[in-house]
Amino acid sequence: MPDRQIQRVLNDALQQFSDLEEGANADYIPALAEVDSDIFGIALVTPDGRVFTAGDVESEVSIQSISKVFTMALVMEQQGADFAPDGVGVDATGQVFNSIVAIEQYKGAEMNPMVNPGAIATTSRVAGESREEIWNRILEFHSRFAGRTLEVNQPVYESEAATNQRNVAIGRLMYAYGHIDSNPDQATDIYTEQCSINVNARDLAVMAGTLANAGLNPVTGEAVMSAANVPETLAIMSTAGLYDDAGKWLYRTGLPAKSGVGGGIVAVSPGRFGIAAIAPPLDEAGNSVKAQRAIEYVSNALGGNPY
Ligand code: DON
C-alpha cells in the first residue's frame, strides 16, 4: 500500500476519535490518575521498517500490562514456548485481570501470562542469579524490542509499589499453590517495576512491528527473539490480550493485541504491520477507549485482519 494512503488512514483515525469523551484514567494506581488524559497518538511500523505516526507519539506513559507480552517472550527464549501451556496456562480466565476468584477456581493452574497471576508467575521464571540480573534482562529485552534504551517511570513504580497489596496477595497465593517457586514478593516487585517502564506510541509500534516481523526489529534490524516463538506469543495475546474483552476485540479486528492501564495498546498483523496507540482514558474492562477505536479503524482500512 502506498505510504500516503497509510498516512491518510492514520490521520483520519486521529481526527475521528480525538474528541471521544468516554472512559477515565486508571486511578487504582494513584500516579496514573495524574497523567494527561488528552494524550493521543497512533503509530504503525511495517516489516520493511517504515514508520507512520499521527498525533502525540512523543509523550511517554507507563507500559503496564503490555510488558506481560515481552517478559513472557523472554521466558520463552530462555525455556521454550511450552513453559506456558505446561505450567502457567494459556486459556483465558474470563475474569478481570487481577481476579483472585480465577486463581481459586483451579488452584492457580490455567492462568494466562496476560493476567496478573500468570504474569507474576511468568516474571518469577525469568532466569538470573540476583534481582538485579533478572531486572536488567527484562529491561534490556524490552529495550531491544523498542530499538532504544527504555527507562522506568520512578513515580509510577513507587506509586504502584505502595498500593499493590492485591498483587502481593496474588503472588503469595500463586506461591502457595506451587506455581511460583522463588520469593513471590520479589517476583511481584519486579513485575511492578516492569509495568512502570516508560514508552511512547512510537516505541510500542516498533515493539509490535518486531512481532509482526517474526522477531526481527524492522527499524534496527536486530533479531530480538526467535521466529519459532512468535506464533505462540501471538496466540496468547489473542486469547487474553484485552482480558475479558479479548473475544469482542478479536471479533472486530482479528488481531493479537495487548492493552495496559497506562492507556497503550499494541496489535500485530503478522507480516503486514505492528500498530500501537496511546490514550489514557479506559473502559470498564481496563482497555483504552480511543486506542481500541483507532487501531480497529486503521487495521480494518488497511486490510490487517488475517482471517
Ligand atoms: O498489575 C497491575 O494492576 C498493573 N501494573 C497492570 C494492569 C494492567 O495494565 C491491566 N491492563 N489493562
**Final residue of a structural domain among 195, 210, 244:** 195
Q: In which domain, by residue range, is 248 found?
A: 3-64+197-301
Whether 109 maps to a domain, the answer reads yes
Distance 263 CA to ligand 1 centre (A): 10
From the centroid of its chain, how far is CA 31? Answer: 19
Are residue 234 and residue 176 in the same domain, yes or no? Answer: no
DSSP symbol at 66? G
Residues 149 and 84 in one domain: yes
Q: CA-to-CA distance for 52 and 41, rounded, in angstroms?
A: 11
Task: Please enumerate, by residue number, every residue annotated as part of a binding site for substrate.
Answer: 65, 116, 160, 167, 191, 243, 261
CA of 270 to the centre of ligand 1 (A): 25
Q: How far apart are CA 125 and CA 82, in angstroms?
A: 13
Residue 98 Cα, ligand 1 centroid: separation in angstroms? 8
* 17 CB neighbour count, 10 Å cutoff: 22
Q: Is the CB of 64 under 6 A from ligand 1?
A: yes
Domain endpoint, select from 135, 170, 195 = 195
Closest to 92 (Cα-Cα) out of 110, 107, 75: 110
Note whether 58 and 83 are same-domain residues: no
Question: Residues 155, 94: one domain?
Answer: yes
Q: Is 9 left (phi over 0), alpha (psi -120 to 50) or beta?
A: alpha
Say if 110 falls within a structural domain. Answer: yes
What integer pLDDT is reported at residue 232 of this predicted model?
Answer: 96
The CB of 288 under 6 Å from ligand 1? The reply is: no
> ipTM, 2 decimals?
0.97
In a domain, 307, yes or no: no
Q: Is the same domain home to 191 and 72? A: yes
Using alpha carbons, list the distances in angstroms from residue 42 to 12, 21, 128, 301.
11, 18, 35, 14
**CA-to-CA distance for 143 and 194, rounded, in angstroms?**
11
Question: Around Cβ 227, how many Cβ atoms within 10 Å?
Answer: 11
Same domain membership, residue 184 and residue 228: no
Number of domains into which the chain is organized: 2
- By most ligand atoms within 8 Å of CB, the mutation choice from 97, 198, 259, 278 for ligand 1 is 97
Beta partners for 269?
A: 273
Residue 201 domain-assigned (yes or no): yes
Q: Decide if 270 contacts 218 (C-beta within 8 A).
A: no
Residues in the chain: 307
**Atom 1 of ligand 1 has which residue's CA nearest to it?**
116
Q: Does 82 reside within a domain?
A: yes
Is 306 a domain residue? no
Cβ 171 under 6 angstroms from ligand 1: no
**One domain for residues 73 and 189:** yes
Handedness of CA 237, 239, 245, 247 (dihedral sign): positive
Return the C-alpha cell found at 262.
Answer: 497506562
5 Cα to the center of ligand 1, angstroms: 35
- Element holding 172 (H helix, E strand): helix 165-176
For position 198, what pLDDT does the model report? Answer: 98
Query: 97 in ligand 1 pocket by Cβ < 6 Å?
Result: yes
Residue set of the binding site: 65, 116, 160, 167, 191, 243, 261
Same domain, 126 and 210: no
3-class secondary structure, 135: helix
| Closest protein CA for atom 7 of ligand 1 | 65
Same domain, 55 and 82: no
194 pocket-lining for ligand 1 (C-beta < 6 Å): no
- In this structure, the answer to whether residues 241 and 268 fall within a common structural domain is yes
Q: Which atom of ligand 1 is nearest to the CA of 195?
A: 5
| pLDDT per 10-residue tile (average), the chain, 307 residues | 94 97 96 97 98 98 98 96 86 90 92 95 97 98 98 98 98 97 97 98 98 98 98 95 92 98 98 98 96 98 97
Are 184 and 202 members of one domain?
no
160 CA: nearest ligand 1 atom:
5
Q: Does residue 170 belong to any structural domain of this protein? A: yes
Q: What is the CATH number of the domain that holds 96?
A: 3.40.710.10
Q: What Å distances lie between residue 298 and 18, 31, 61, 274, CA to CA?
A: 14, 30, 22, 11
In a domain, 107, yes or no: yes
Q: Does 179 lie in the same domain as 153?
A: yes
Q: Are 231 and 223 in contact (CB under 8 A)?
A: no
> The pTM is what?
0.97
Give the residue from 177, 195, 213 where a domain finishes.
195
